[in-house]
Structure 1
C-alpha cells in the first residue's frame, strides 16, 4: 500500500518531498541568482577590457581620479564603462555554475565557468547576502578572481 500526499492526486509522498527539496535547494543558490550572474559577467568583462584595451582602461582610471578631485558627475563615467564592456558581456557565455559552498551565515563561494572567444575561464567569487526580504535577496562581492582554463 503506497502512501499518497492527497488521495485524489495520487502523488507518492516521497516524490512530493523530493520535488520540494529540489525546488528549495535550487532557489536558495545565490550563484544562480540573475543579479549575481550579471555582476560576475560585468566584473569578468572589465577584466577582459583591461587585457584587450589597457589604454582605454587606464583612461577610465584617470578620468575617475579627476572626477573625484573635481567633483564632476561620476555617473557619466559609469555610462562610458558600461558602453565599453557591453560588447564583451554579449560574447560571454555561462558554461557551468558550480555547486555553492556556504562559508558562513549569508556568505557563499561561487565558481562559474565562462566562455569568451573560444576560451574558458573560471571565476571564483565570495558573495555576501546583504538583504533578504519580500522583494528578493541582494548580494555583494567580497573577493573576485579569474583563472584561465587550459585547453
Structure 2
C-alpha cells in the first residue's frame, strides 16, 4: 500500500515555518512571504524575475504582484536588463537591505530553536529538502509536459 503522507506532511511543515516566522519577524516589519523574496534578491542581485521564479518555485504571475509590492514599498528597484528589453533586473534598495539585515539575527534565532529540537544535524534535513524539491520540480515538469508516447497519442486521437 502506498504511503500518502508526503503530500500531507510537507504542507504542514510549511505552515509551521510560516507561523514561526510570522511570530518572530513581526518586530522587523517584514512578512514571511516578503522575506523569502527579499532574500532571493539579496543573494543574487541583480536578478531577473525568471531567475527568482526558478529559485523559489513561485509562479511568475504570483511573483509579479509581490515584486510590485516590494518596489512600491521602497524595498527593491527595477533596473533595465542589459540584453533583454522585455525583462528587468531587481536589486534591493538601501531600505530593503537594512530590513533584510535586521531579519538576519531573528532568522538565526529561529534556526537555532528548530535545530535544538532535531535528532540529527540541520544539514541533513536541508539536504533532504533540497533533494525533495528537485524531485518535485522534475515531477511537475513531467506531469505538465504533453504526453508524446505513441500509446497516449493514439488514446488522445481516438477520443477526438
Which TM-score bucket, shorter chain as reference?
under 0.3
More helix by share: 2
Where relative contact order (Cα < 8 A, 6+ residues apart) is larger, the structure is 2
TM-score (norm 1): 0.25
Higher Cα radius of gyration:
1
- TM-score, normalising length from structure 2? 0.24
Which of the pair is proportionally richer in strand?
1
